């Protein structure tokens, strides 16, 4: 536990380091360059949709289905298709987050999928050597054609630019097919060595019908698709090249595989004896991952990569920038809940959750630290006393309960009431409410009783939230996006009464990604994936009615919070913008476009906390940093002015986001300045435990790496 001082106010922080998530490897990546969306499939069969317009943000999660696996994905406009070992082609409903259509293919397990340039035909390759063509034009998915059966499985496939030909990769061969007839036109043998099979893992087909293939020898081979002739080969890795990708200009080639290195080749014009020709020359390499890389995609100057370690990596394909950003295999927030009364902590995993009792301290420091940590990035104001110290715990954290969902279904959301009496969790199909009796210290008498006979409106939800007094329960329905409000009749009773249903479809037309209820219970705020923020308020002290929709911004909303004592909403956006909005006056009271967060261009603000002791303080964090910002009065022409003697750290001006529409003049809109900063490794969640205690839940990256299989071993000169 850490203790710190900010302007005379001491805040204690519980640094929770026992949230041990399991790394879920990335199987495939599909990039939608038009809509700035990235689809990622993981080893547990789940699919994640990321918004990549600005800093990458996990927008939606499609939980795994029973027995489902996703080996390949592809976008066709705004439609997403996937294939897997179940032998089904699936089109996903990205609003309801479940399958929209399913179609079985000939040939059992499906390994690959691709869509032609016009988005009318879809091809899949199967375990038994069958290639199926489906017609997906006019919002349909119908079986169209079956190619001649080939020997061995079809591991990868790509249409050419015209859509008239399909290139497939299998064991020791690359084939070129005529799409209309379904016959193979050419078979190109990858290796002449009959003693060892060479597996073609990945393919790319350029606009001039140049074919690029990565194989199990660690080579990338280049072929002329028109003549079915081999052009060149490069020994890229010492073993399997699992994935290859090209940029939009088709002058950069990226490849990786069993060695966790991304090698980039540039298309170069060479002249020899008055003959000019193009070849691929090694350009640079990126070290992003710690284990096998299974998927690559490119958008502009950014390379998206993923593999066994579960991290989504974003690196630069240019020498002008060597930026590397990584996003861990974490669950979509909120995955942590706190009971302030009983000091209980809920940690959500994929199909179970844990309940812990946090330790306490008498507040006397055991070890005093300096104002700046060893990295020198805490704070730069001076004080006569110690700024931070380590506090001794009177009792160690205690694990009270571990609860698995029925049939190990993925848990979509879970929470515990602030008074510690109620526990609620939901899967895709079922929702359950429990009466929780916390354990007495030193005794093992934890009880969890399921509540039955609940109202019919009590159904599966995407968000579950208790009011601050634990007397109301709010659910967000996944299909209709309705908000159901329930009343807990008595803290000592097991009855749950249905109060009302709030319709949201008119105001939010996409998935509700963020949901919050004010501490006073007067306001409900929901932010949608369509970049809308809608607010409902209590009308005549009884029911909720729609209050307003905030001006829509060009970037997606990544975090929201409501002041406890004021009707003001604070929101953060993926481009680094931070605003405060008065819900009664319907105007902006604070709007700042400066990048206070050092890595704001790559990592979004994922959580916002507001300090009841000082309403001018805004606490926010992303994956790597915790920040405390302070509102300051701004003058025309100098929104960021401050006195030299003030104890605030102000970052230099950087790229700013697009401005929101302001309803009042800039002279009345406050600005922000940096008050405090602290670095973390994978800060997942930050919650108030009391008015002067925070709970910071993090994940140690070493615990993720330790669970991975051994990386490809190779002998290096000068090492044992």
Mean pLDDT of 376-402: 62
> Which two tokens mark 583?
């819900």
pLDDT band at 593 (very low <50, low <70, confident <90, very high): low
Evaluate whether 696 touches 676 at the Cβ level (below 8 Å): no
More confident residue, 439 or 14: 14
Is the domain defined by 398-706 classed in CATH 2.130.10.10?
yes
The alpha carbon of 717 is separated from its chain's Cα centroid by a whole number of angstroms, namely 39
Match 């409410």 to its residue by tokens: 433
pLDDT of residue 715: 56
E-state strands within 358-451: 365-369, 388-391, 398-404, 413-416, 422-426, 431-437, 447-450
Whether pLDDT at 366 is above 50: no
Q: What is the chain's mean pLDDT, rounded?
A: 86
pLDDT of residue 439: 52
pLDDT band at 370 (very low <50, low <70, confident <90, very high): very low
Whether pLDDT at 358 is above 50: yes
Mean pLDDT of 173-187: 96
Evaluate whether 22 touches 380 at the Cβ level (below 8 Å): no
pLDDT band at 377 (very low <50, low <70, confident <90, very high): very low
Mean pLDDT of 602-622: 92
> Which two tokens mark 47?
């699919």
For residue 668, the 8-state DSSP code is G
pLDDT band at 534 (very low <50, low <70, confident <90, very high): very high
Whether pLDDT at 43 is above 70: yes
pLDDT band at 646 (very low <50, low <70, confident <90, very high): very low
89-130 tens-digit pLDDT: 999 999 999 999 999 999 889 999 999 999 999 999 999 999
pLDDT of residue 649: 32
Closest by CA position to 19, among listed 716, 639, 703, 593: 703
Evaluate whether 29 touches 297 at the Cβ level (below 8 Å): yes
d(CA 386, CA 392): 16
259-298 tens-digit pLDDT: 999 999 999 988 877 788 889 999 999 999 999 999 999 9
Mean pLDDT of 561-565: 94
Evaluate whether 561 touches 608 at the Cβ level (below 8 Å): yes
User: How large is the C-alpha radius of gyration of the chain?
Assistant: 28
For residue 291, the 8-state DSSP code is S
pLDDT of residue 671: 82
pLDDT of residue 584: 93
pLDDT of residue 597: 64
pLDDT of residue 244: 97
pTM of the model: 0.89
Q: What is the DSSP string of 195-230?
A: TS--BEEEEEE-TT-EEEEEETTSEEEEEETTTTEE
Whether pLDDT at 364 is above 90: no
Q: Which residues partner with 240 through β-bridges?
A: none
Residue-range domain boundaries for the chain: 27-189, 398-706
Cis omega (within 30 of 0) on the bond before 334? yes
pLDDT of residue 717: 52
Evaluate whether 323 touches 334 at the Cβ level (below 8 Å): no
Whether pLDDT at 648 is above 50: no
Q: What percent of the chain lies above the pLDDT cut of 70? A: 86
Whether pLDDT at 149 is above 80: yes
pLDDT of residue 367: 36
Instruction: Out of 57-61, 210-214, 405-409, 543-547, pick the least confident.
Output: 405-409
Mean pLDDT of 127-137: 96
Whether pLDDT at 181 is above 70: yes
Torsion over CA of 326, 328, 334 and 337, rounded to 10 degrees? Answer: -120
Under 8 Å CB-to-CB from 9, ≥6 apart: which residues?
Answer: 613, 614, 692
pLDDT band at 382 (very low <50, low <70, confident <90, very high): very low
Whether pLDDT at 662 is above 70: no
Under 8 Å CB-to-CB from 157, ≥6 apart: which residues?
Answer: 112, 113, 114, 123, 124, 125, 131, 166, 167, 168, 169, 203
More confident residue, 437 or 689: 689
pLDDT band at 445 (very low <50, low <70, confident <90, very high): low
Evaluate whether 108 touches 127 at the Cβ level (below 8 Å): yes
pLDDT of residue 349: 96
Strand 88-93 to strand 79-83: parallel, antiparallel, or no bridges (unpaired)?
antiparallel
The dotted CATH code for 27-189 is 2.130.10.10
189-213 tens-digit pLDDT: 998 777 788 999 999 999 999 999 9
pLDDT of residue 472: 94
pLDDT band at 634 (very low <50, low <70, confident <90, very high): low
Closest by CA position to 14, among listed 25, 24, 4, 23: 4
Mean pLDDT of 55-76: 91
Identify the burial level of 167 via C-beta atoms within 10 angstroms of its C-beta, where 0-12 means exposed, 13-18 middle and 19 or more buried: buried
Whether pLDDT at 237 is above 60: yes
Whether pLDDT at 320 is above 90: no
| Alpha carbon separation from 394 to 170, 340, 364, 366 (Å, rounded) | 63, 18, 11, 12
Whether pLDDT at 523 is above 80: yes
Closest by CA position to 295, among listed 283, 303, 284: 303
Whether pLDDT at 45 is above 90: yes
The pair phi, psi for residue 326, each rounded to 5°, is -130, 140
Whether pLDDT at 571 is above 50: yes
27-189 against 398-706: fold identical: yes
Three-point CA angle 582, 584, 589, nearest 5°: 20
Whether pLDDT at 173 is above 90: yes
E-state strands within 329-377: 336-339, 344-348, 352-357, 365-369
Mean pLDDT of 242-266: 95
Contacts 24+ apart (CB under 8 A), 581-586: 581/550, 583/523, 583/535, 583/537, 583/547, 583/548, 586/548, 586/663
Whether pLDDT at 372 is above 80: no
Mean pLDDT of 421-442: 82
The pair phi, psi for residue 703, each rounded to 5°, is -65, -30
pLDDT of residue 668: 64
């Amino acid at each position: 536990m850490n203790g710190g001082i900010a302007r005379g106010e001491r805040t204690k922080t519980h640094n929770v380091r026992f949230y041990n998530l399991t790394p879920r490897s990335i199987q495939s990546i599909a990039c939608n360059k038009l809509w700035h969306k990235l689809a990622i499939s993981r080893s547990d069969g789940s699919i994640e949709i990321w918004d990549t317009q600005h800093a990458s943000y996990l927008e939606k999660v499609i939980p795994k289905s029973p027995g489902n696996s996703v080996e390949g994905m592809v976008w066709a406009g705004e439609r997403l298709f996937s294939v897997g070992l179940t032998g089904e082609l699936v089109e996903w409903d990205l609003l309801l987050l479940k399958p929209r259509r399913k179609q079985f293919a000939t040939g059992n397990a499906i390994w690959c999928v691709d869509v032609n340039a016009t988005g009318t035909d879809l091809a899949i390759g199967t375990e038994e050597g069958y290639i199926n063509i489906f017609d997906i034009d006019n919002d349909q998915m119908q079986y169209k054609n079956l190619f001649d059966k080939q020997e061995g499985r079809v591991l990868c496939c790509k249409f050419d630019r015209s859509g008239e030909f399909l290139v497939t990769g299998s064991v020791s061969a690359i084939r070129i097919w005529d799409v209309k007839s379904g016959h193979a036109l050419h078979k190109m043998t990858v290796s002449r060595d009959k003693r060892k099979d060479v597996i073609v893992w990945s393919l790319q087909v350029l606009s001039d019908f140049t074919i690029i293939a990565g194989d199990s020898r660690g080579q990338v081979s280049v072929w002329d698709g028109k003549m079915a002739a081999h052009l060149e080969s490069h020994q890229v890795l010492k073993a399997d090249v699992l994935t290859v990708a090209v940029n939009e200009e088709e002058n950069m080639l990226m490849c990786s595989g069993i060695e966790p290195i991304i090698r980039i080749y540039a298309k170069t014009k060479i002249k020899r004896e008055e003959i000019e020709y193009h070849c691929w020359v090694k350009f640079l390499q990126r070290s992003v991952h710690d284990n096998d890389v299974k998927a690559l995609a490119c958008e502009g100057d950014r390379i998206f990569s993923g593999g066994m370690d579960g991290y989504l990596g974003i690196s630069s394909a240019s020498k002008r920038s060597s930026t590397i950003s990584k996003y861990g295999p974490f669950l979509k927030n909120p995955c942590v809940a706190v009971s302030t009364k009983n000091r209980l902590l809920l940690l959500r995993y994929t199909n179970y959750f844990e309940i812990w009792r946090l330790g306490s301290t008498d507040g006397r420091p055991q070890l005093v630290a300096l104002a700046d940590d060893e990295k020198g990035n805490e704070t730069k104001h001076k004080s006569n006393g110690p700024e931070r110290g380590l506090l001794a715990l009177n009792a160690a954290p205690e694990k009270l309960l571990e609860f698995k969902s029925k049939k190990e279904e993925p848990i979509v959301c879970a929470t515990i009431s602030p008074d510690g009496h109620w526990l609620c969790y939901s899967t895709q199909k079922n929702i359950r409410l429990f009466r929780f009796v916390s354990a007495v210290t030193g005794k093992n008498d934890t009880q969890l009783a399921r509540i039955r006979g609940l109202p019919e409106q009590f159904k599966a939800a995407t968000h579950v939230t208790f009011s601050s007094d634990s007397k109301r329960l709010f659910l967000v329905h996944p299909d209709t996006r309705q908000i159901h409000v329930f009343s807990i009749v008595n803290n000592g009773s097991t009855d749950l009464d249905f109060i009302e249903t709030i319709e949201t479809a008119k105001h939010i037309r996409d998935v509700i990604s963020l949901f919050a209820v004010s501490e006073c219970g007067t306001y409900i705020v929901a932010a949608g994936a369509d970049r809308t923020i809608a607010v409902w308020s209590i009308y005549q002290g009884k029911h909720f009615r729609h209050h307003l929709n905030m001006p829509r911004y060009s970037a997606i909303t990544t975090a929201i919070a409501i002041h406890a004592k004021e009707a003001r909403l604070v929101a953060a956006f993926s481009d680094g913008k931070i605003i405060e909005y008065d819900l009664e006056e319907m105007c902006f009271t604070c709007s700042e476009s400066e990048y206070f967060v050092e890595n704001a261009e790559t990592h979004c603000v994922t959580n916002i906390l507001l300090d009841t002791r000082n309403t001018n303080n805004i606490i926010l964090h992303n994956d790597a940093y915790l920040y405390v910002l302070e509102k300051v009065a701004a003058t025309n022409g100098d929104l960021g002015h401050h006195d030299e003697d003030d104890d605030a750290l102000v970052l230099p001006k950087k790229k700013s986001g697009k401005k929101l529409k302001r309803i009042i003049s800039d002279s009345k809109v406050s600005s922000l300045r940096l008050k405090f900063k602290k670095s973390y490794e994978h800060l997942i969640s930050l919650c108030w435990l009391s008015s002067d205690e925070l709970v910071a839940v993090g994940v140690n990256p070493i615990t993720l790496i330790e669970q991975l299989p051994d990386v490809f071993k190779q002998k290096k000169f000068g090492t044992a």
